[in-house]
A and B are shown apart, each in its own frame.
Chain A
Amino acid sequence: MSATVVQVFLVDDHALFRAGVRAELGDTVEVVGEAGTVADAVTGIVRTRPQVVLLDVHLPDGGGRAVIEGVHRAWPECVFLALSVSDAADDVVAVIRAGARGYVTKTIQPDDLVDAIHRVHEGDAVFSPRLAGFVLDAFSGHAAPVADPELDLLTPREQDVMRLIARGYTYRESATHLHLSVKTVETHVSAVLRKLQLSNRRELTSWASERRLL
């Protein structure tokens, strides 16, 4: 965990929540801007060029996805860490496939949030145990043939790493358990994130349409 100060932009339509996060983030994170709507977020982010954007998934007028797509049109390298109340599979998948590098729920402890921000800033993916469980579920080998094995299947090592994360292990603990370096574990997790983003597996593309929110 580095001691550098990461510049963060907050996007959430609950002003109270933004204020709470601002107060909790401590000294290694500097909040350079906030926004409560999609339009304000896109203009604010492109103007302030933060290192990480903390993005709420559920915004009116298109949600977190609209912000990611809007910003990436002007500035493709922007790094997004998605934050949400809901843990529903649709939200997770949609925002990751739009380009977020990680996903945490709003019940996360402040220290873990700071850690996640640093991790995403350093180029790694942040996987909650539930997201890891979902990945294992979505990529489990059904009998249906896969179009692109490189994108649509997890390697055994990647499955091992995902399984440990789903069991609640941190990257360091996973590295120890599997006798790998932390860097290797991070590489595997990033590879899985890429597959989650690019794979056209039916479970990922049709998931949102098959589920129906009340």
Chain B
Amino acid sequence: MDGDAITFPRRDEGRVVAGVAAGFSRRHGVDVAVVRGALVVLTFAAGIGLVVYAAGSLLSRPSPDPRLDDEPTMPVDVRRNAAVVLITLGLLSIVRSTGLWLGDQVMVPLGVLVAGVVVLAMVRTDDGASTPLSALIAGRHARARITVGAVLVSLGLLAVGVGNAVSSTVRVGVFAAAVSILGIAMLVGPWIAGLAQAAAEEHRQRIRSEEREAMAAHLHDSVLQTLALIQRSADDPRRTAALARQQEHELRSWLYGGDAASDATLASAVTGMARDVEQRHDVRIEVVTVGDAPMTEPLQALLAAAREACVNAATHSGETSASVYLEVAGDTAQVFVRDRGVGFDPADTATDRMGIAQSMVGRLERVGGAVRIHTSPGNGTEVEMSAPLGRADAAGGKVVS
């Protein structure tokens, strides 16, 4: 999948046209502003820029889903930026020698102008600040970049001024515009920068206080209530332990769990099921999951079987703890429910003494799964259940529950 050194994925986020420049820059560690600047300059050189862009779109793969994107990002390297600049200069001189050239008086100032804009633009992408103005002011090498950028832009404008190919009206117009922009920028620039910084700071403060309020509300609703309940049932150790355990799970998943929607995937459904059984039967169930998959019909059967195995471990093993291990690998999902309780004799065929009921075994086998039970009296019980992942097929397959 990753062995191809030539193609690269395009990027939908941060794209201007088709994300070719963004994808290329991310893959090869070149600043995206440099890539775009090179393409713009090359476009003026007999349209080579357009050819390069078209070649880039052909060679690149479509942008991947950002959630599944595990493409490594090359860190931006000064040498790679320099390499792209040199390649661009080389292409420009090749085009120049073929005669398809717009003329030095146009191309040189244009090149200088584009270089200046690129340098200014690199300030923004480098430090990722919230507004371009605050980034211009606040970046690490901002002063150097702004100076170099401004000098290059001025040189470009100067070259426009002295070039013979440009008429005097255009020249006056360009200069007038440039001077006005500079003057306005100097007048209001610092003030706007101050406003931008103040707005960003207020935004940060507001986020912080919202987070604090959300945390306080959550803790009030859950942890404080539970602590009060625990104090009231201090004489009942099992109830106390159950309350504490339940609250621990909830707080832990709130702190570390992220936005995992429960029941949408197998791992979260199994975890939710185990918590539910823990609560109803006052036992401790430790869940370990490796891998994950979206819920489908066969996996629903697997989940139901696992639930039954957990309930039986809680009610028949004589122990107060059990462990659940889920592994999704290849195209199967396996669940192991284990307890260290009394075990039973597998030859005993009474339904309520089986690891899981016959009807559950049947249901699992009908969807292509299997059940195996390892047990013997005094040695605990382990129920091994497996089911195919059963991806919904493309032809309008629905998940039937």
- Measured CB to CB, the residues of A under 8 A from B are 86-88, 107, 129-130, 132-133, 136-137, 140, 142-145, 163, 166-168, 202, 213-214
Contact = CB atoms under 8 A, between A and B. Distances in A.
A142 to B, nearest CB: 8
Contact of A168 (B3, B323, B329): B323
A137 B289 CA distance: 9
B255 interface: yes
Contacts of B329: 140
A168 B325 contact: yes
B395 interface: no
B290 A167 contact: no
Best-surrounded residue of A86, A144, A213 (most CB of chain B within 10 A): A144
A213 B255 contact: yes
A143 B1 CA distance: 7
The 9 closest A-B pairs by CB, nearest first: A168-B323, A133-B288, A167-B325, A143-B1, A88-B256, A136-B290, A166-B288, A129-B288, A167-B336
Contacts of A132: 288
B211 interface: yes
B252 interface: yes
A130 B252 contact: no
A129 B323 CA distance: 9
A133 B325 contact: yes
B383 to A, nearest CB: 11
Given A144-B2, A168-B325, A137 B255 contact: no
A169 to B, nearest CB: 8
A140 B291 contact: yes
B378 to A, nearest CB: 14
A107 B84 CA distance: 57
Contacts of A130: 286, 288
Interface of B is mostly: mixed
Contacts of A145: 2-3
Nearest to B340: A168
A123 B237 CA distance: 37
Contacts of B255: 86, 88, 213-214
Contact-residue bracket for chain B: 20 to 34
Given A86-B252, A129-B323, A137 B286 contact: no
Contacts of B336: 167
A166 B329 CA distance: 15
B256 A167 contact: no
B46 to A, nearest CB: 40
Contacts of B3: 145
Contacts of A163: 325, 327
Contacts of A137: 290-291
Contact of B289 (A88, A133, A143, A214): A133
B396 interface: no
B72 interface: yes
A180 to B, nearest CB: 18
Contacts of A129: 286, 288, 323, 325
A166 B290 contact: yes
Best-surrounded residue of B289, B291, B325 (most CB of chain A within 10 A): B325
Given A129-B286, A140-B290, A143-B1, A168 B338 contact: yes
Contacts of B248: 107
Best-surrounded residue of B256, B289, B323 (most CB of chain A within 10 A): B256
Contacts of B327: 136, 163, 166
A168 B256 contact: no
Nearest to A203: B70
Contacts of B289: 133
B286 A168 contact: yes
A136 B382 CA distance: 21
Interface in B286-325: 286, 288-291, 323, 325
A211 to B, nearest CB: 8
B323 A133 contact: no
Contact of A86 (B254, B256, B382): B256
21 contacts: A107-B248, A129-B286, A129-B288, A129-B325, A133-B325, A137-B291, A140-B290, A140-B329, A142-B70, A144-B2, A145-B3, A166-B288, A167-B288, A167-B323, A167-B325, A168-B286, A168-B323, A168-B338, A202-B72, A214-B254, A214-B255
Best-surrounded residue of A130, A167, A202, A213 (most CB of chain B within 10 A): A167
A132 B215 CA distance: 32
A24 B323 CA distance: 25
Contacts of B1: 143-144
A168 B290 CA distance: 14
A167 B211 contact: no
A87 to B, nearest CB: 7
B256 A213 contact: yes
Contact of A166 (B215, B254, B325): B325
Interface in B51-82: 70, 72
Given A129-B325, A167-B338, 6 more contacts: A132-B288, A166-B290, A167-B323, A167-B336, A202-B72, A214-B215
A36 to B, nearest CB: 23
Best-surrounded residue of B252, B290, B382 (most CB of chain A within 10 A): B290
Contacts of A107: 248
Contacts of B290: 133, 136-137, 140, 166
Contacts of A144: 1-2, 70
A214 B211 contact: yes
A166 B248 CA distance: 21
Contacts of B256: 86-88, 213
A140 B1 CA distance: 16
A142 B211 CA distance: 36
